Amino acid sequence: MNYDNDTYFHPGTDSTPFGLTDVGTFASPTFVDIDGDGDLDAFVGERYGDTLFFSNTGSASVPAFDTAVTDDPFGLTDVGRFASPTLVDIDGDGDLDAFVGNLSGTTLFFLNGTTVSNNSTTVSNVTSTTDDGSYNVGDVISVTAQFSAVVNVTGTPQLTLETGSTDRTANYTRGSGTDSLTFSYTVQAGDASADLDYLSTTALTLNGGTIQNIDGNNATLTLATPGAVNSLGANKALLIDGVVPTVNSIAISSATNSQNGRIPIFRVMQLIMKWVNLPFVSGSSSVQTCSMSAA
């Protein structure tokens, strides 16, 4: 309706206008005359990365959309999550090409008459479902790698983590057939990190397996720089404390509380504990090495 020379669109109540059926919790439609019959057809992106096609079997003035084609219409394959398509003749050859955006911010280009020209699936984010906090020997931490599209996995790919003097690997556990892969890391003795992150941009490796998109193309495994946006360290605050403290020496503060370097049982004394990785040091007249045997 038009009011005071301004255009005002009155919301309709039809949940399936002209036959456009519900595609889920997210819908991103665009309209083009893809078949050249003089009326507009519909392409609707949806939450899980697919683009659905609704052919207009009516007319330009009275559209009527047929049942959705859901199986990669015209070769428009899954792009990950939240597909948002638009079509335009980008190369001026007289037919419509497609650009499809997705949740990770990537725009994929589909050239009409060929396969996808930008079919490389990439890692968009690395995070963890484990709560922020401090973790000790035996604790298990789950690390997730988010991809720009659905991937299929074979074997046991690994993610190398920066854990101090010895770098540990998190092994792939689940996620094939989705766009999010989970890796599992168990804290071991000697591991230490003030803010757990992976080792480098090449820390994700196949380990003899494969990570491929639904077209069978190998995924690009390059990660964000450790500590940068979309890295594990930037997304989470996981402190790793796998260094077990040891008592290396016990010194007696008063020689009068000892007998021949031995500590009498039940005698009150002050013990000074040294928590450093040094060998026992023999005492002098005021600091004595303790044998911990009964007097």
Which residues, 6 or more positions from 104, have their beta carbon under 8 angstroms from its beta carbon? 80, 81, 122, 124, 125, 146, 148
From residue 24, how far is each of 11, 47, 82, 151, 219 by CA, in Å? 20, 7, 11, 22, 28
CB 109 within 8 A of CB 97: yes
- Asked whether residue 13 falls in the same domain as residue 91, the answer is yes
Consecutive 10-residue averages of pLDDT for the chain (295 residues): 53 80 91 88 93 92 90 88 93 86 90 60 94 96 94 96 96 95 97 97 96 86 95 97 73 53 50 45 40 41
- Which residue, 110, 137, 167, sits at the end of a domain? 110
Give me the residues paired with residue 172 across strands. 183
Rounded Cα–Cα distance for residues 102 and 227 (Å): 24
DSSP string, 269-293: --EEEE-SS-------SSS-B----
Rounded Cα–Cα distance for residues 190 and 243 (Å): 4
Q: What is the pLDDT of residue 248?
A: 64
Query: What residue has token string 């096609």?
Result: 53
Half-sphere exposure of 278 (CA within 13 A, CB side): 9
Is residue 155 a part of any domain in this protein? Answer: yes
Is residue 63 a part of any domain in this protein? Answer: yes
Q: What is the pLDDT of residue 98?
A: 93
- Asked whether residue 105 falls in the same domain as residue 160, the answer is no
Query: What residue has token string 């039809």?
Result: 14
Is residue 163 a part of any domain in this protein? Answer: yes
- Which residue, 85, 110, 135, sits at the end of a domain? 110
DSSP string, 214-238: TTSPBPB---PPTTSTTSHHHH--E
From residue 79, how far is each of 3, 151, 211 by CA, in Å? 42, 11, 16
State the total domains in the chain: 3
Rounded Cα–Cα distance for residues 11 and 25 (Å): 19
Rounded Cα–Cα distance for residues 181 and 234 (Å): 18
- Asked whether residue 189 falls in the same domain as residue 267, the answer is no
- Asked whether residue 15 falls in the same domain as residue 86, the answer is yes
Q: Print the domain residue range for 136.
A: 123-241
Is the entire prediction scored with pTM above 0.75? no
- Which residue, 241, 256, 278, sits at the end of a domain? 241
Closest by CA to 238, choosing from 286, 283, 287, 195, is 195
Is residue 115 a part of any domain in this protein? Answer: no
- Asked whether residue 65 falls in the same domain as residue 152, the answer is no
Is residue 206 a part of any domain in this protein? Answer: yes
Closest by CA to 175, choosing from 232, 120, 223, 219, is 219
CB 168 within 8 A of CB 190: no
Q: What is the CATH number of the domain that holds 217?
A: 2.60.40
44 by Cβ neighbours in 10 Å (0-12 / 13-18 / 19+) ranks as buried
